[in-house]
Amino acid sequence: MRILFFLLFCFSVSAQVQKGQASFYSNRLKGHRTSSGEKYNPAKFTAAHRKLPFNTWVEVYMPKTKKTTFVRIIDRGPHSRKRIIDVSRAAAKDLGLIPYGFATVQIKPVTEKSRIDSLNAMESEEIYEFEPKSATSDSLSRNPQ
């Protein structure tokens, strides 16, 4: 019974949204082994977190840029207690984090199915939000060539 309670407690804690500072890996770490044994590749969407299990997918939202990305936990860290997650270069670029160096983010562990559903929803939103600008006679008359 104690084990069941402990497992339920651990699962509920890990499923909660965390808010804090994020930064990204240095390019110098390319090819270095992470805590999971996997080599760090700046082009993959991976991250370091102190407690989440390896291979856990995490949704990362950056309010400053209003962008979201998904990363897989492959390393332990960050080593600075001021931060809650270190993301790969690709994930940092996707979030718009690179110019800032570090920023406040919200992270939430997700299942594989919900990650795929979210990615599909994001993709369809981008398709439907795009409206090509057509040249009107009014715009042509103001900008003669």
Taking only the tens place, the pLDDT of each residue in 27-82 is 999 999 999 999 999 999 999 999 999 999 999 999 999 999 999 999 999 989 99
Q: CA-CA distance, 71 to 109, in Å (whole number)?
A: 10
Using a cut of 0.95, tell me whether the model's pTM lies above it: no
Residue 25 in tokens: 């890996």
Structural contact between residues 103 and 86, judged by C-beta atoms closer than 8 angstroms: no
Burial track 50-61 (b if 16+ CB lie within 10 A, e otherwise): eebeeebbbbbb
